[in-house]
Amino acid sequence: MKNCNLIIAGVGGQGVILAGNVIGEAAMSSGYDIKKTDTIGMAQRGGNVISHLRIAQKIYSPIIVEGEADIVMSFEKMEAARCSNFLKSDGIVILNNRAIPPLSVSRGVEHYPTDEEIISILKQKADKIYFVEGTKKAEELGNARTLNIFMLGCLSCFLDIEDSVWRECIIKSLPSRIVGVNIAAFEQGIEAIKI
């Protein structure tokens, strides 16, 4: 797609903000107008993070209105469900198969939704759901923190941005010693969607 309203969701520390910044750079390099805003709250202290990214020829508001997101990409399972209100009726969900239970769950006060519950929540809105093994693949690569770049690989299959631009922007955004493993994660992300 050329124009895109994208929501990226996750939990503090998962690399949501960096992923959004790379997408922003890639979109700008490709000649788009782009605005991005994060609702972080106190994410570093275990809260959830939602990044809004809007890519088009001209953008006014950085915030995506409920029901206007083309894609929700979530680094954590339950957080995808939390963002379902943003989805368009024919929206796409890219979902990393990883649960990070909040303290209320780990203290036994609340219940973490099952995969079936999460999917049924998303199905009310989403047209397509891509369940990807980002955390697993990143750990297999020997660096769990490459999850965010793996997810960028998945996303790149849906945006009208050249592969070379993605790679350039990833290289620019990361310290050189971890570029190799992140490019590998990016490629695995693409593979996860294409098969």
Partner 1 sequence: MSVNKKLLSGNEAIALGAYHAGIKIAAAYPGTPSTEILENLSQFKDIYAEWSTNEKVAMEVGVGASYAGARTLVAMKHVGLNVAADPFMAVAITGVNAGLVVVTADDPGALSSQNEQDNRHFAKLAKIPMLEPSDSQEAYEMMITAFDISEQFDTPVLFRTTTRVSHSKAVVELGDKKETPGVKGVFKHNFQKYIMLPANARFRRPLVEERVKNLASYSETSSFNRIFKGDDKLGIISSGMAYQYAREVFPGASFLKLGFTYPMPENLIRKFALKVKKLVVIEELDPFIEEYVRSLCIEVTGKEFISIIGELTQDIIKKGSYSIGILAENEVKKTEYTAPKLPGRLPLLCPGCPHTGTFYTLSNLGQRSVLPGEKPREPKLIITGDIGCYTLGALPPLSAIDTCGCMGASIGNAIGMQKAGVDEKLIAVIGDSTFLHSGITGLIDAVYNKAKITLIILDNKTTAMTGHQEHPGTGKTAQGEETVAVSLESIVRAIGVKNIQLVSAWDIKALKNSVKTSIDSGELSVIIVSGACAVDLRRGVDPGIIDVNKCTACGLCLALGCPAIQKDGDMIIIDGSLCVGDNCRLCRQICPNKAISPDGARQSERISEEL
CA angle (168, 173, 174) in 5-degree steps: 105
In angstroms, the CA 63 to CA 86 distance is: 11
Taking the least distance from each CB to partner 1, the nearer of 105 and 193 is 105
* Continuous H helices in 4-114: 16-29, 77-82, 103-106
Show the site string, 154-173: x = touches partner 1 by CB under 8 A, - = not: --------------------
**Total of chain residues touching partner 1, rule CB under 8 A:** 51
Report CA-CA distances (Å) from 182 to 2, 44, 165, 189, 190.
25, 23, 15, 10, 13
Q: Does 104 bind partner 1 (CB under 8 A)?
A: yes
Q: Does 177 bind partner 1 (CB under 8 A)?
A: no
Q: Does 11 bind partner 1 (CB under 8 A)?
A: yes
Taking the least distance from each CB to partner 1, the nearer of 71 and 79 is 79
Hey, is 130 helix, strand or coil? Answer: strand
Q: Which two tokens stand for residue 39?
A: 């609702």
Length of the chain: 195
Show the site string, 105-144: x = touches partner 1 by CB under 8 A, - = not: xxxx-xxxx-------x--xx-------------x--x-x
**Residue numbers at the binding site for partner 1 (CB under 8 A):** 11, 21, 24-25, 28, 33-42, 44-48, 59-63, 65-67, 78, 81-82, 84-85, 101-108, 110-113, 121, 124-125, 139, 142, 144
